Each structure stands twice: as structure tokens, then as C-alpha cells.
Amino acid sequence: MEVIIQPTADAAALLVARLIAKHLRAKPSLVLGLATGRTMERVYEYLTEMHRREKLDFSLCRTFNLDEYVGLPPNDPHSYRYYMDRHLFSRVNIDRRNTHLPNGAARDLAAECRHYEELIRDCGGIDLQLLGIGADGHIGFNEPLSALRSRTREKALTPATIRQNAPLFGGKISAVPRRALTMGVGTILEARRILMLVTGAEKATILAKAVEGPMTAMVTATALQLHPDCKVIVDEAAAKRLRGKAYYRWIFKNEPEWQEFRAAPSIRRARSRRSR
Ligand code: GLP
């Protein structure tokens, strides 16, 4: 695992977008694992900008999202399918048939989860998986005590996660679905590369547990410590409680693989969306 500290949330999101763009240019048919949440919105804005200004090409890219709420049809404005359409798919030249999310409105949810795993396998596995982190340390919707070898399945959300996601449902806790379909921790760990983005002071404690704490199913993000190619990109606010900060900074300053990312980039997020 590598932790890279950036000065701001914006810079951290831009670095994640640049890393995704680099892999997409190297392999246009990249199988990209995608995540939702407020943290990811900036990444998708930057990818949209790169598509517009630098002709970043998504035409052959295939995507698999981590999760979806149970009971919400894809056209529900609170569904993750809707989120992805709004923040990325409708803004770049991706072929919608190449974009996949588990269907939370499927009649047989267990069959839907098995089918999702098969689809990932049929595409040759995920090349690069993007991740955020929940307040309780979940990745996808792998809530505390999810097996570290779990596969795509239906999962009950914790009251804390329901509260955390309520702002996206107009603040109405009762409107947040109680269950979700999510890739398992084992599914996520099979991705060839993992990129986790964590920003904001409110994530500082859970980030320190996830990255530097002992591995435990109580914090499913700790399973990422097992992954041979996992990069965790954070801002200063989220990095506040990390013990190894000096070393992480040294890595970014000195390791050759980061050289091209140390130079100031020219890309900016679209002005209209920056005011949020
Ligand atoms: C949800 C998603 C996670 C995401 C988390 C954090 O729980 N299932 O994949 O990482 O939200 O969201 P935010 O970025 O809004 O803090």
C-alpha cells in the first residue's frame, strides 16, 4: 500500500483522475471499477474535463460499480445508476452498454449478485478499482463484520451508514434504503489495482484505522493492506491522524513513479460546478 498526501481535496481528486486517465490511455478497453459518494464527484468532474479538453477516450472502456441500493430502479434519482449517468456516463463518450451496476430492483437479488460476479469474470476481471470509504470504514457497502473474503451479495446497512447517506436523500433518514447489493471485500481485492480516495477532516480517524490499524472485519477497508497494488490518495485534512506522514511525503517527492504527477497540472474542473 502507498499513501499519497495532497494539499487539498481538489488536488487529491485531480491526482486520482490523472491516474485513471493514464491507465485508460495505456489500455483503452480498461475494466474500471467505479464508486459513488460525494468524494467521487470531483474525480468525475475532472475526468469529464479531460474528455472535453484532452479527448480522453472512454469509447472502449468497461465499468463495474461497487454497489446499488436495493429497491431503487435505475431511473430513481437516488439510485447509483442515476448518479453515474449524471456525473460521468452522460458527459463522456462511454458506450452505456459497457457500464454495469448491480440491479437493486431485480426480482431475484441472489441471482443478480451471482450474475454480476460472472459479468466481471467474463470481462477478464477489474483492472483498476476506485474506492471511497464510509464513516465506519466500509468499502462498497461492506459494513462491519463483512467477511474479508465475501463476494457480491445483499447487505443490510448500519444505522450510521443510513445517517451518513441521508443528505443525498434530502436529509430524510426514512427515505434511505435499508439494504444494498455490494461487491464483496473478496471481489474488490481481486482487482489488479486499487485506488482509494479519502478527503476531509471527518474521515481522519477512520483513515488512520484503515491504513495503519490492525486488519479487522470491523473496518473492512483494512483488508486493502493485503492488496499488492493499492494506492490511497488523501488530502491534508484526512491525513491529520496518520503516524507515517513524513514517510508518505518522502515517497511522493522521491519515488520515480510519481515524477510525472509532481508537476503542476493545467486541467481545472468546470467553473460552473466548482462553486458547490
Ligand atoms: C457510500 C458508498 C461508498 C462510499 C461512501 C462514502 O456508503 N457505498 O462506496 O465510499 O458512501 O461516501 P462519501 O464520499 O459521500 O463520504
122-141: pLDDT as tens digits: 999 999 999 999 999 999 99
Q: Is the CB of 39 under 6 A from ligand 1?
A: yes
Is there a catalytic annotation at residue 138? yes
Q: What is the CATH number of domain 2-275?
A: 3.40.50.1360
Predicted confidence (pLDDT) per residue in 204-224, tens digit: 999 999 999 999 999 999 999
Pocket test for ligand 1, best of 165, 168, 232 (most atoms within 8 A of CB): 165
The residue whose CA is least distant from atom 5 of ligand 1 is 134
* Beta strands per DSSP E along the chain: 2-6, 31-34, 62-65, 67-69, 99-100, 128-131, 153-156, 179-182, 193-198, 230-235
Is there a catalytic annotation at residue 136? yes
Per-residue pLDDT at 263: 83
Number of other CB atoms surrounding residue 226 within 10 Å: 12
Q: Is 56 exposed, middle or buried (0-12, 13-18, 19+ CB in 10 A)?
A: buried
Predicted confidence (pLDDT) per residue in 43-76, tens digit: 999 999 999 999 999 999 999 999 999 999 999 9
Pocket test for ligand 1, best of 38, 69, 133 (most atoms within 8 A of CB): 133
Contact 168, 203 (CB under 8 A): no
> How far is residue 218's CA from residue 221's CA, in Å, rounded to a whole number?
9
* Domain residue ranges of the chain, discontinuous segments joined by +: 2-275
